[in-house]
Structure 1
């Protein structure tokens, strides 16, 4: 029995058809960088999810985060903090 595929978000309307360097204006690039930085930092979205919703590769998202000077998280799931026994 095969496992179901991972659900991916659809490309957001504001980023549809803007992935090519020739079709991207400086304003679109600024909007992409702001979106990637906000989703990654505040919403803690993964590079994979941000790439899917912007129609870009994970490398393109990583570059946008570098331009925004957002430090990247380490690989893997976040550590679970253990609570003190009650």
Structure 2
């Protein structure tokens, strides 16, 4: 019996179609705020990438630009 896979998260409607090379300043600001807020609440970079239809590298850059200190690899999720 194979191990069940993790469910894939759906892209949030506010980020659908915004993964373009030239985002508006408002789109970029919303992405930075969303990633910073959700990462602080315990979401992983992988989850954020799925929710925003960005690559994990793009999410890392967004967190860096937002000034968020990232957790170490394999670190337990923070509790708020």
TM-score by length of 2: 0.89
Q: How many residues align?
A: 77
Deviation of the 1:62 alpha carbon: 0.3
Structure 1: segments with no counterpart, 5+ residues: 80-86
Which runs of no fewer than 5 residues in structure 2 stay unpaired?
Answer: none
| Aligned equivalent of 1:52 | 50
Over aligned residues, Cα RMSD in angstroms? 1.4
Aligned to 2:29: 30
* C-alpha distance in structure 2 between counterparts of 1:45 and 1:76, whole Å: 13
Q: Distance in 2 between matches of 1:27 and 1:60?
A: 17
Distance 1:15 1:65 in 2: 16
Largest Rg, 1 or 2: 1
Q: Which has the higher contact order (CA 8 A, sep 6+)?
A: 2
